[in-house]
Amino acid sequence: MNPEQVRKPFTKRLIIIGAVALAILAVVYLGMSWYVVSQALQGEIVAFEHHPGELGLTYEDVEFHPRGDESITLRGWWLPADDAVGSIVWVHGVDKNRAAQLPMLRDLINEGFSILAFDLRGHGQSDIVPLGAGFKEPADVRGAIDFLLNDKDVASGEVLLMGWSFGAGIVLMAGVGEPAVAAVYADTPFASLTDMMIGEIAKRTPFPAWFASMLRPGIVQMASLRGIKIDEVRPEVAVAGYTDMVIGLAHCREDERIPLEHSLRIREAALETGVWFNLYPRCGHNEAYDDFTEQYVSIVTNYFRDQLGLATAQQ
């Protein structure tokens, strides 16, 4: 038999086997990427650490919807201050809830700010639906803004946004183009979700960070099939939209979860309009209030009062 006649069928079989193997690998890769996305979008329900009644706060249980989506109900507390100078929408971090920083909220109420603290979708007592990975949550915050304007008669220009960790990035994106919002204060924001994604996936799935990194392109693609454009979750880009507002930033120098670099990138992107930037030494992730309580409350109070055009509070 001619050697060429033997070689051709053999080569053809190799090509077929290689193609089948690549197809199987592609299916496995996309399947694992889909699994990672599904796991990462499941919220972790944790018990409330505090309750307003325990701290002597007046409160009202409230419900509202994300802007443009009445299929989801968000639940929270309305915490009014006497003779309020402004109203804060406070947004918690991932796998947290509205009670996570209630002592801090109490201190801000005592400084004259009413507060709407609510649970993001998939958290706390809000509807248990898949998380939006930062792409859908700005609608939750905008729903809170609408609630204050329509149900609590808060005047346009007296709404203030404040977020913590994941919530800090959310408020930076949610406040752009909102004329009712006078100020946005972000405590430990992320600059870009894709830069944070690998570490967070390693925390929320069985896969180590190096493996999650290999899945990154597939994760982005699978998330898009669920209506989540991960590449667009970038607070460092959104802040360019604040053309007439000075944003506020806070970060702990030794933060191990969201490195200081993220706030520095956001500050750089917002330098044209200005930034109140406060860097706290010798503290980790979102520990600024706990470690520097009086200074922290004073800075936040003065920032909000300044943006509202009020006299600066006494230090």
pLDDT tens for each residue of 245-293: 999 999 999 998 899 999 999 999 998 888 999 999 999 998 999 999 9
* pLDDT the model gives residue 314: 46
Neighbours of 43 (CB within 10 A): 19
Q: Sign of the CA dihedral 97, 100, 101, 106?
A: positive
In total, the chain counts a number of residues equal to 315
Average pLDDT of span 59-81:
97
Query: Helix and strand tally (H, E) in the chain?
Result: 11, 8
Neighbours of 16 (CB within 10 A): 10
Full set of structural domains in the chain with CATH: 1-40+196-231 (no CATH), 53-192+233-307 (3.40.50.1820)
Q: pTM for the full model?
A: 0.86
* pLDDT the model gives residue 133: 85
Q: Which residue has the higher pLDDT, 13 or 52?
A: 52
Amino acid at 175: G
* pLDDT the model gives residue 65: 98
Q: Are strands 181-187 and 74-79 parallel, antiparallel or unpaired?
A: unpaired
DSSP 25-52: HHHHHHHHHHHHHHHHT-------S--G
Is residue 17 predicted with pLDDT exceeding 70?
no
* pLDDT the model gives residue 315: 41
Q: Quick one: pLDDT band at residue 33, thresholds 50, 70, 90?
A: low
pLDDT tens for each residue of 153-165: 999 999 999 999 9
Q: Which H or E element spans position 296?
A: helix 293-307
Name the least confident of 90-104, 156-170, 232-246, 300-314: 300-314
Q: Which residue has the higher pLDDT, 226 or 315?
A: 226
Q: What is the mean pLDDT of the chain?
A: 86
* pLDDT the model gives residue 215: 74
Contact between 82 and 58 (Cβ < 8 Å): no
Q: Are strands 86-91 and 60-64 parallel, antiparallel or unpaired?
A: unpaired
* pLDDT the model gives residue 278: 96
